[in-house]
Structure 1
Amino acid sequence: MRTRVAVIGGGRNCEHEVSLASAASVAAGLDARAYEVIALTIGPDGTWRDDEGLPVGLSGAARLLATCDVVFPMVHGPRGEDGALAALCELAGLPYVGSGVGAGALAMDKWATKLVAAALGIATAPGRLVTTATAAEEVWSHPVVVKPVAAGSSRGVSLVREPGHLRSALEAALALDDRALVEDVVAGREIDVAVLRRADGTVVASPALEIVGDGLFDYDAKYGGHADLRVPAELADVEAKALADAAVAAYDALGCAGVARVDFFLTEDGPVLNEVNTVPGMTEHSQVPRMFAAAGLAYADLLDELVRGAHR
């Protein structure tokens, strides 16, 4: 008998389209011999729809979810990745793929993640927290990166090289969140490592992936099809080990489950943690599936590991 899996995509946030792509890919990638997929979509207005696109509301979605064996949340960003969907599954007593409520909320909060990293001895970019109340007091002194505290897919992220651009960068970040980070620009290679808790409970780090390019790896670079992603990244053994160790340490300290993508800058002084994504992009061509494919774990097998390792 096939396992019935509810794949939830969309979401009421700025990452709606990216989440739709991830959910569609997961639904198509699950082995039809082992899994029956029930697709649910959350619209930009928050309306839940079934796999025929008909509005069913939260109550209708709950009834459909209750018929499923496992929930596979694929909503990136706020009201999804931040633990919101994990909380819904917990309250409904439904097994689900990925990190729990606490880990999702902590990792989504880039300021909190920096504090966890500091406690672990993992470097992060020097930065400060800015709120809607303090933004007017922020003064530019050198090139910085401005980003929302809780958003993903590089939405609202700006590289500010001139004083006159700081105000607009803060406005863009604070349009997506009521808190922003203003961080020093880190000179280093952009390296990602994925960490997976397999169905048997073991934790493994993927081969590292390098994002090669000039400037900011923004939304257009990520999803425009022009990103130069190299996996496995060319690293010395000591560099690869330092990155893998830091990635697993951050994953464990945050309490992650399933798969997470841990993003770094590799500098002359070692890894600098940028962020942790507990619901990373999951199309077959996204970074995480590419990294595990380089380790010999095919896309369908990665999805199978995630479903079999769902919270019980």
Structure 2
Amino acid sequence: MKKNIAIIMGGYSSEFEISLKSGQVVYDILSKLNYNAYRIHILKNKWVCVNDSNEEFPIDKNDFSMVIAQRKIVFDCVFNAIHGSPGEDGIMQGYFELLGIPHTSSDMYQAALTFNKRDCLSVLKPYGIKTATSYYINLGDPIDEAAIINKVGLPCFVKANRAGSSFGITKVYEKEDLQNALAVAFKEDDEVIIEAYLDGTEVSVGVINYKGTVTVLPLTEIVSDNDFFDYQAKYMGQSQEITPARISATDAEKVSALAKKVYDVLRLKGFSRSEYIFKDGEPHLLEVNTVPGLTAASILPQQAAQAGISMSDLFENAIALALK
């Protein structure tokens, strides 16, 4: 009997449109395979299943079920394609774990931890994982510009602590621009992390559990046409994403081992994509994503293709592991 797979997409953050694209790709592929695939839009004002005719069927949040043609449908597994809250920050994971429904992403605590840049980096530092020098500030805190610059220097990056797709990030060159950068970040989150600028080669590393084995995918070198790998660079073609990365075998081995260590230390599941910049020959971790983009143009599927893993294999493998 075919398994019922709910593909959750959308979400409550600025990333919802990107998530809808990822979810649609997953739906298009899974619906051609051995599953009953359903598109589930998780939005602030409604949770609905959307069929191919764009008819909407409400989701019963009591048990994550729905009724179509007087027939109640329950799900064997949830494929999580929500970037940002509530799919990448542990909220949906906790909900599904309470209901006993398998899902393709990391567990609740791991999702919440990795989505919080400050907490994630703090947990990893004792394991010898290098990161940029940082300064933390919350909404309402006094802003000591001199103290910030004294610690992280200029230029620096002002980032919303819990956001993705480069929303809420500004590269700051002058002290006078700090206040505006903080205002941009606080539109996305009430916590901010300010990091020193690392001048070096940037690489993105996909790590997945593939057929029961933690597997590091071929590396991607990020070359942005803009000042940094911002939203336009990520999604509007204003960057080069070169897979495999043009780095030495030694550096590739070093960052691959580090990315696997991060995956193992954090006890992640399913997909992950972590970002690094080489400084003085050493990879420095920027962040960890547990629900990366899943379109054909997204980095992780490109890396999987280089490894000989098709998108159908990638998605079916995630479901198979979740159902175990």
TM-score by length of 1: 0.94
Partner in structure 2 of residue 208 of structure 1 = 219
For residue 116 of structure 1, report the CA deviation from its aligned partner: 2.1
Alignment of 1:81-100 (within 5 A): 81-100=88-107
The structure with the larger Rg is: 2
- Selected match of 1:59 from 51, 58, 61: 61
For residue 120 of structure 1, report the CA deviation from its aligned partner: 1.3
> 1:146-178 CA deviation, whole Å, 9 max, x = no partner?
001111011000000111211010111112111
Alignment of 1:94-243 (within 5 A): 94-139=101-146, 141=149, 142-199=154-211, 201-213=212-224, 214-243=226-255
For 1:54, give the aligned amino acid: E
1:249 aligns with 2:251: no
Task: Rate the CA distance shift 1:135–1:9 in 2: closer, same or farther, 3 A.
Answer: farther
8 Å Cα contact 1:8/1:71 also seen in 2: yes
1:11 aligns with 2:11: yes
For residue 66 of structure 1, report the CA deviation from its aligned partner: 6.2
Q: What 5-or-longer segments of structure 2 have no aligned partner?
A: 67-71
> 1:74-102 CA deviation, whole Å, 9 max, x = no partner?
11112210111111110111011010101
Partner in structure 1 of residue 297 of structure 2 = 285
For residue 226 of structure 1, report the CA deviation from its aligned partner: 3.0
Runs of 4+ in 1 over 4 A off after TM superposition: none
- SS of 2:165's equivalent? coil
Report sequence identity in percent.
32
Partner in structure 2 of residue 263 of structure 1 = 275
Instruction: Name the CA distance, whole Å, in 1 between partners of 2:323 and 2:207.
Output: 17
For residue 48 of structure 1, report the CA deviation from its aligned partner: 0.8
Number of residues paired by the alignment? 310
For residue 119 of structure 1, report the CA deviation from its aligned partner: 1.3
Task: Rate the CA distance shift 1:311–1:168 in 2: closer, same or farther, 3 A.
Answer: farther
8 Å Cα contact 1:40/1:61 also seen in 2: no
- SS of 1:303's equivalent? helix
Instruction: Name the CA distance, whole Å, in 2 between partners of 1:238 and 1:53.
Output: 53
- SS of 2:56's equivalent? coil
Instruction: Name the CA distance, whole Å, in 1 between partners of 2:189 and 2:73.
Output: 33
**Which deviates the most, 263-272 or 26-35?**
26-35
8 Å Cα contact 1:11/1:46 also seen in 2: no
> 1:177-201 CA deviation, whole Å, 9 max, x = no partner?
11100100001111011001123x2
For residue 3 of structure 1, report the CA deviation from its aligned partner: 2.1
For residue 212 of structure 1, report the CA deviation from its aligned partner: 1.0
For residue 57 of structure 1, report the CA deviation from its aligned partner: 4.9
Task: Rate the CA distance shift 1:135–1:80 in 2: closer, same or farther, 3 A.
Answer: farther
8 Å Cα contact 2:91/2:108 also seen in 1: yes
8 Å Cα contact 1:117/1:250 also seen in 2: yes
Partner in structure 1 of residue 36 of structure 2 = 36
Task: Rate the CA distance shift 1:125–1:239 in 2: closer, same or farther, 3 A.
Answer: same
Instruction: Name the CA distance, whole Å, in 2 between partners of 1:66 and 1:248.
Output: 38
For 2:121, give the aligned amino acid: K
Instruction: Name the CA distance, whole Å, in 1 between partners of 2:234 and 2:142.
Output: 28
**Which deviates the most, 96-105 or 54-63?**
54-63
Task: Rate the CA distance shift 1:182–1:276 in 2: closer, same or farther, 3 A.
Answer: same
1:275 aligns with 2:274: no
Q: What 5-or-longer segments of structure 1 have no aligned partner?
A: none
Report the RMSD for the aligned CA atoms in angstroms.
1.7
For residue 248 of structure 1, report the CA deviation from its aligned partner: 0.8
